[in-house]
Structure 1
Amino acid sequence: MATEITRLHHVGHVVRDLPAALDLYRRLGFVTPAPSYPAMPPREGGEPEPFGAANTHADFPGDFLELATVVTAGGRVPSDARLVPLQAPPDVLPTLVERIDTTRANLAECLERFEGLHILMFSSSDVDATATRLTAAGVGHGGVNTVRRPTGGEVETVRYLEIDGARPGLAAEGRIGVVADLDPRIQATRAAGHPNGAVGLVDAVLCTADADLDAARARYERYLGRTPRAHGPARVFDLDGATLTLVPASGLAALLPGEQTPALPALVSCTVAVHDLAAAENLLRNNEIPVVRASSGEVFVPATAAFGTAIAFRQA
C-alpha cells in the first residue's frame, strides 16, 4: 500500500527527574546536548523563568530519541540547561503559550500513568497529504501546525500534526503524531558520533491487552496507511528502515524477557541500531548498566533501570 509515511521520526521518553535521566543516557553512550527550557518572565519586567515542557535529543542522521520532562515549580533543572525565551509577535504569542501549556498538560497526564515512553512520531514526505488521508479515514487530529526555530545560524521549519484520542493531541498510549521529514542538511549538523555507536532509531514496541490487539492494529493501519505482517503473536508495521511492533501483553515476555508494563496500552521499548553491538554491550557493562539479552540476539536495558522504558540495541 502506497503511503506518504516514511519512517520513525522520533520517540519521546518522558521522565520526572531530567538531570538523573541525562546522566543515565550519557552512561548509555548517547550524546545528549544541554536541554532546552522554554522561558517567560512571570511578570512584566521580570527575568525569564522556565515553564511548560523541556527536552533534549540523541540525534541520528534520519531520526532521534527525545528525552523530555514537565517543568514543575521547585523541580530540578540541569546545571547546563538552556533557557529559550519565547519570542513571537504579540498576536501570535498567546497561541504559542497555549500550545506549550497543552503539551505540558498532556505529558503531565502521561506521567501520572507511569514514567516512560509516551511519544511516538512518524515521518511524512507530505504532512498535508497525511492530514487529508487521516481525515478521510475518520482519524481525529489537530491539523498541521508550523513552528520555526533558529538552529545553527538558520531557521528550521517544523510541520507536524497530533492525533486525537482520549483528549486532543493525546491517544490512549501517549502523544502520537506525524512530522514532516527532517531536513537532512540541518539534521547532519546535529547527528553526533555516539560513544555507543548508535546510528538510528529502528523499532518501537506498543503493548496492548490481548483483547485489544486487533483494535490497535486497525487504528495504526489508519494512521500509517500500511498493513502489518504477523510475527508470532505480534503485528509488525514495516517502515523505511524501521518497524512499529504491536505485541499483546501475553507475548511481551517472549519479546523482552522479564519486562512488564504498568498500564495498557503502553509504549514499552525503543530500539537503536549500533555500528558494533558487542562494543555497545561492553560499554554498558563497563558503565555498570544492567543488560538483558533477547531471543532475537539484541541486548536491552530493562525498564526498571531506565526510567520506565526498555532501551534496546541492535547490530546495524
Structure 2
Amino acid sequence: MEITRLHHVGHVVRDLPAALDLYRRLGFAVPAPAYPAMPPREGAEPEPFGAANTHADFAYDFLELATVVPADGRAPAGARIVPLQAPPDVLPTLLERIHATAAKLTECLNRFEGLHILMFSSADIDATAARLTTAEVRHGGVNTVRRPAGAGIETVRYLEIEGEGPGVAAEGRVGVVADLDPAIQATRRIDHPNGAVGLVDATICTPDTELDAVRARYERYLSRTPRTAGPALVFQLGDASLTLVPASGLDTLFPGERPPASPALVACTVAVHDLDATKNLVQDGGFALHRTPRGDVFVPASAALGAAIAFRQASRHPHDLAGRARVPHTSSEVD
C-alpha cells in the first residue's frame, strides 16, 4: 500500500497569535508563522495576503496551524513575511492557489474553529492518484509546489480529495501528500519541550447513521479496512491510525467531548517520550487534563480553540510510536 502514515493534521484558527501561545504553553516548539506577501502596487512594500501558517514539526509528520490573513494585511509581530517570487507564467496559478486556500479556510472557520485538515502520506503519489481514479474517488490531480526550506528548496507534491465542494470533503480538507523529504525535515526543529515525537492518531466523529458510509469512503481512500475497537473503527497507518467514531460513542473515547459539527475532525493524538513529564508541563501551563480509557491524556476542545489535543506514551522502540496503552484511570480527569 502506497499510503504509509499520517502526513499532517491542520488546526484552522481565527487568531494565529493566540494559537501560537496555546501550542507553546502545551509544550510544542512552533516557529514564527509564514505570511505570503506581494506589493499592492508598483514600488510599494510587500503586504501579507491569503493564508498564513506554521508547523509543529516531527520526524515524519507535523501539526499545522493555519489562518486567513486579515483584509488589512496585518501580520503579528515576529511573523516571517515571504515575498512571492515566481516566473510571470507561473505567478497567476500561484496566486489562484493562495486565494483558493484562503477561501477554503474561510469556509472552515464559518463552520467552526478547530481541526479541518487531514493529509495522508504516500510513498508514490502518482500511484495513489491512479488508484483513487480507478476507485472513482474524485480528486484534483497531483499538484507540485516549491517553497524555500533553509538553504534549499522543498518540492511538495499533493492531491486533494473532492467532496461536496472542490477539494473539500464533508469533514474538511482531505488529501494525500508525498512523503516528507527526510533530509529537509531533519533541518527543522523537532525537539519539543513536551517531548512530542509524532502524530499517532486523528479522530473523525460522524453521525451514527453515516458511520458505514464514511467508513466506505476511507476504505477507498486508504485501500485498507478498519478494525473494530469498541464503538470506533480504526484504520492502521503504520505506527499511526485514523479513528472513526459515531457521535454516540465520542464520549467513550474522549470523556466529556461533544462534536462541534458532524462529521468533523475532532481530535488528534501525539506520542511523547515521557507522558508523566508531559502531563506536568501541560498542567503547569494552566490546562486541566482529562484521561481517556486507553490511558492517554487530553486537553479538551473547549480549552484548545476547538480541537481536543491528546498525548500518548510512545513505545520504548523508536520506530514504533503507537505506544502501549496504560491502565485506565477510574476518572476522566487527571490528578
TM-score tier by shorter-chain length is over 0.9
1:290 aligns with 2:282: no
In the alignment, which residue of structure 2 is the partner of 1:37? 35
The one-letter code of the counterpart of 2:198 is G
CA distance in 2, matches of 1:90, 1:186: 27
The question of whether the paired residues in 1 share the 8 Å contact of 2:49 and 2:73 is answered with no
Higher normalized contact order (CA 8 Å, seq sep 6+, divided by chain length): 1
RMSD of aligned residue pairs (Cα, Å): 0.9
Deviation at 1:310, TM superposition (A): 0.2
The one-letter code of the counterpart of 1:243 is S
CA distance in 2, matches of 1:36, 1:184: 21
In the alignment, which residue of structure 2 is the partner of 1:306? 304
Picking from 38, 46, 49, the partner of 2:47 is: 49
Counting only pairs closer than 5 Å after superposition, residues 158-307 of structure 1 correspond to structure 2 as 158-307=156-305
**Deviations, residues 93-113 of structure 1 (Å, cap 9, x unaligned):** 000000111111111101100
In the alignment, which residue of structure 2 is the partner of 1:21? 19
In the alignment, which residue of structure 1 is the partner of 2:329? none
CA distance in 2, matches of 1:169, 1:42: 28
TM-score under structure 1 normalisation? Answer: 0.98
Q: Structure 1 residues 312 and 76 mapped into 2: Cα distance closer, same or farther (>3 Å)?
A: farther
CA distance in 2, matches of 1:150, 1:282: 36
CA distance in 2, matches of 1:78, 1:141: 35
CA distance in 1, matches of 2:274, 2:187: 23
CA distance in 2, matches of 1:151, 1:19: 23
CA distance in 1, matches of 2:18, 2:86: 32
Is there any run of 5+ residues in structure 2 with no aligned partner, and where? 315-335
**Deviations, residues 245-293 of structure 1 (Å, cap 9, x unaligned):** 0000000001000001121100000000000000000001111112111
Picking from 140, 143, 150, the partner of 1:142 is: 140
The question of whether the paired residues in 2 share the 8 Å contact of 1:236 and 1:244 is answered with yes
**Deviations, residues 156-175 of structure 1 (Å, cap 9, x unaligned):** 11100001111111111111
1:125 aligns with 2:123: yes
Q: Structure 1 residues 286 and 143 mapped into 2: Cα distance closer, same or farther (>3 Å)?
A: same
The question of whether the paired residues in 2 share the 8 Å contact of 1:207 and 1:264 is answered with yes
Deviation at 1:44, TM superposition (A): 2.1
Deviation at 1:74, TM superposition (A): 4.1
In the alignment, which residue of structure 1 is the partner of 2:106? 108
**Deviations, residues 192-224 of structure 1 (Å, cap 9, x unaligned):** 210000000000000000000000000001111
The one-letter code of the counterpart of 2:239 is G
Q: Structure 1 residues 96 and 187 mapped into 2: Cα distance closer, same or farther (>3 Å)?
A: same
CA distance in 1, matches of 2:252, 2:148: 45
The question of whether the paired residues in 2 share the 8 Å contact of 1:17 and 1:76 is answered with no
The question of whether the paired residues in 2 share the 8 Å contact of 1:19 and 1:77 is answered with no
The question of whether the paired residues in 1 share the 8 Å contact of 2:29 and 2:189 is answered with no
The question of whether the paired residues in 2 share the 8 Å contact of 1:18 and 1:77 is answered with no
Q: Structure 1 residues 75 and 269 mapped into 2: Cα distance closer, same or farther (>3 Å)?
A: farther
CA distance in 2, matches of 1:211, 1:287: 39
Runs of 4+ in 1 over 6 A off after TM superposition: none
Picking from 5, 8, 15, the partner of 1:7 is: 5
Deviation at 1:115, TM superposition (A): 0.1
In the alignment, which residue of structure 1 is the partner of 2:79? 81
**Deviations, residues 141-167 of structure 1 (Å, cap 9, x unaligned):** 110001111212111111000011111
TM-score under structure 2 normalisation? Answer: 0.92
Give 3-state SS (helix, strand or coil) of 1:139's partner: coil
Q: Percent identity between the aligned chains?
A: 75
In the alignment, which residue of structure 2 is the partner of 1:93? 91
The question of whether the paired residues in 2 share the 8 Å contact of 1:292 and 1:302 is answered with yes
CA distance in 1, matches of 2:242, 2:282: 25
CA distance in 1, matches of 2:207, 2:85: 44
In the alignment, which residue of structure 2 is the partner of 1:315? 313
Deviation at 1:232, TM superposition (A): 1.3
The question of whether the paired residues in 1 share the 8 Å contact of 2:205 and 2:263 is answered with yes
CA distance in 1, matches of 2:210, 2:269: 24
Give 3-state SS (helix, strand or coil) of 1:67's partner: strand
In the alignment, which residue of structure 1 is the partner of 2:324? none
The one-letter code of the counterpart of 2:103 is A
The one-letter code of the counterpart of 1:213 is L
CA distance in 2, matches of 1:68, 1:279: 28
Equivalent residue pairs, number: 314
